[in-house]
Amino acid sequence: MTRILLVEDDDDVREMVYQILTREGYEVEQTANGRLALESFQKNPADLVITDLIMPEKEGLEMIRDLVNGYTGVKIIAISGGGRLDPGDYLRTARVFGARKTIHKPFGRSELLDTVKAVLEEK
Protein backbone atom coordinates (compact mmCIF):
# COMPACT_ATOMS: atom_id res chain seq x y z
CA MET A 1 0.00 0.00 0.00
CA THR A 2 1.28 3.46 -0.88
CA ARG A 3 2.09 5.51 2.22
CA ILE A 4 1.55 9.27 2.22
CA LEU A 5 2.70 11.72 4.87
CA LEU A 6 0.26 14.64 5.07
CA VAL A 7 1.55 17.81 6.72
CA GLU A 8 -1.09 20.51 7.28
CA ASP A 9 -1.73 22.77 10.28
CA ASP A 10 -5.36 23.55 9.36
CA ASP A 11 -7.43 20.77 10.95
CA ASP A 12 -10.29 21.07 8.43
CA VAL A 13 -8.03 20.95 5.37
CA ARG A 14 -6.00 18.09 6.85
CA GLU A 15 -9.16 16.07 7.54
CA MET A 16 -10.56 16.73 4.06
CA VAL A 17 -7.34 15.62 2.34
CA TYR A 18 -7.05 12.63 4.68
CA GLN A 19 -10.58 11.49 3.82
CA ILE A 20 -10.03 11.86 0.07
CA LEU A 21 -6.78 9.91 0.14
CA THR A 22 -7.88 7.11 2.46
CA ARG A 23 -11.04 6.55 0.41
CA GLU A 24 -8.75 5.99 -2.58
CA GLY A 25 -6.88 3.30 -0.66
CA TYR A 26 -3.78 5.22 0.41
CA GLU A 27 -2.28 4.79 3.86
CA VAL A 28 -2.04 8.31 5.30
CA GLU A 29 -0.13 9.56 8.31
CA GLN A 30 -1.00 13.08 9.43
CA THR A 31 1.07 15.74 11.19
CA ALA A 32 0.39 19.39 11.91
CA ASN A 33 3.84 20.90 11.29
CA GLY A 34 7.17 20.34 9.60
CA ARG A 35 9.05 19.42 12.75
CA LEU A 36 6.72 16.51 13.51
CA ALA A 37 6.72 15.51 9.85
CA LEU A 38 10.51 15.26 9.72
CA GLU A 39 10.52 13.13 12.88
CA SER A 40 7.89 10.86 11.35
CA PHE A 41 9.68 10.60 8.00
CA GLN A 42 12.97 9.71 9.69
CA LYS A 43 11.29 6.83 11.55
CA ASN A 44 9.23 5.57 8.62
CA PRO A 45 9.81 7.21 5.20
CA ALA A 46 6.69 7.74 3.12
CA ASP A 47 6.27 7.18 -0.61
CA LEU A 48 4.95 10.74 -0.93
CA VAL A 49 4.85 13.86 1.24
CA ILE A 50 2.05 16.39 0.81
CA THR A 51 2.82 19.55 2.73
CA ASP A 52 1.36 22.94 3.41
CA LEU A 53 3.92 25.74 3.30
CA ILE A 54 2.85 28.19 6.00
CA MET A 55 2.89 26.33 9.35
CA PRO A 56 4.08 26.79 12.93
CA GLU A 57 7.33 25.34 14.33
CA LYS A 58 8.87 24.44 10.96
CA GLU A 59 7.46 25.81 7.74
CA GLY A 60 6.95 23.69 4.66
CA LEU A 61 9.78 25.30 2.69
CA GLU A 62 12.29 24.43 5.43
CA MET A 63 10.94 20.91 5.64
CA ILE A 64 11.12 20.44 1.85
CA ARG A 65 14.73 21.59 1.88
CA ASP A 66 15.61 19.21 4.72
CA LEU A 67 13.87 16.24 3.09
CA VAL A 68 15.45 16.81 -0.32
CA ASN A 69 18.91 17.22 1.23
CA GLY A 70 18.51 14.14 3.43
CA TYR A 71 16.63 11.66 1.25
CA THR A 72 17.42 11.02 -2.40
CA GLY A 73 14.38 10.83 -4.62
CA VAL A 74 11.84 11.98 -2.04
CA LYS A 75 8.53 12.88 -3.71
CA ILE A 76 6.83 16.03 -2.45
CA ILE A 77 3.68 17.94 -3.34
CA ALA A 78 3.41 21.44 -1.86
CA ILE A 79 0.04 23.04 -1.19
CA SER A 80 -0.60 26.64 -0.21
CA GLY A 81 -3.30 29.24 -0.02
CA GLY A 82 -0.89 32.07 0.52
CA GLY A 83 0.32 34.12 3.38
CA ARG A 84 2.01 37.49 3.32
CA LEU A 85 2.95 37.00 -0.32
CA ASP A 86 1.01 35.79 -3.31
CA PRO A 87 0.50 32.00 -2.97
CA GLY A 88 2.15 31.56 -6.36
CA ASP A 89 5.38 32.95 -4.92
CA TYR A 90 5.44 30.31 -2.18
CA LEU A 91 4.56 27.55 -4.61
CA ARG A 92 7.25 28.59 -7.10
CA THR A 93 9.79 28.63 -4.28
CA ALA A 94 8.64 25.17 -3.20
CA ARG A 95 9.40 23.88 -6.73
CA VAL A 96 12.87 25.44 -6.57
CA PHE A 97 13.45 23.74 -3.18
CA GLY A 98 12.44 20.34 -4.58
CA ALA A 99 8.67 19.87 -4.60
CA ARG A 100 7.71 17.90 -7.70
CA LYS A 101 4.26 19.47 -8.03
CA THR A 102 2.29 22.23 -6.37
CA ILE A 103 -1.41 22.83 -5.75
CA HIS A 104 -3.02 26.16 -4.94
CA LYS A 105 -5.68 26.14 -2.20
CA PRO A 106 -8.58 25.78 -2.46
CA PHE A 107 -8.41 22.67 -4.60
CA GLY A 108 -10.81 19.90 -5.43
CA ARG A 109 -10.75 16.14 -5.12
CA SER A 110 -9.87 15.51 -8.78
CA GLU A 111 -6.98 17.96 -8.79
CA LEU A 112 -5.56 16.41 -5.63
CA LEU A 113 -5.89 12.82 -6.83
CA ASP A 114 -4.58 13.58 -10.33
CA THR A 115 -1.53 15.31 -8.85
CA VAL A 116 -0.86 12.49 -6.39
CA LYS A 117 -1.09 9.90 -9.14
CA ALA A 118 1.22 11.88 -11.45
CA VAL A 119 3.90 12.32 -8.78
CA LEU A 120 3.75 8.70 -7.64
CA GLU A 121 4.22 7.55 -11.25
CA GLU A 122 7.33 9.72 -11.75
CA LYS A 123 10.68 7.96 -11.64
pLDDT-derived band at 123 (thresholds 50, 70, 90) equals: confident
Report, as an integer, the average pLDDT of 81-98. 80
Query: What CATH code is carried by the domain that includes residue 83?
Result: 3.40.50.2300
Question: What integer best gives the mean pLDDT of the chain?
Answer: 94
Q: Taking residues 68-93, what's their average pLDDT?
A: 85
The pLDDT, as a whole number, for residue 89 is: 84
Q: Is the dihedral of CA 50, 62, 41, 69 positive or negative?
A: positive
pLDDT band at 85 (very low <50, low <70, confident <90, very high): low
Domain count, the chain: 1
Does the pLDDT of residue 1 top 70, yes or no? yes
The number of angstroms, rounded, from the C-alpha of 78 to the middle of its chain's C-alpha atoms is 5
The reported pTM is 0.95
Provide the residue range defining the domain that includes 72. Answer: 3-121
Q: Which helix (H) or strand (E) holds 116?
A: helix 109-121
**Average pLDDT value for residue range 82-111:** 87
Taking 70 as the threshold, does the pLDDT of residue 98 lie above it? yes
Whether 82 has a pLDDT exceeding 90, the answer reads no
Name residue 2's amino acid. Answer: T
pLDDT at 87 over 70: no
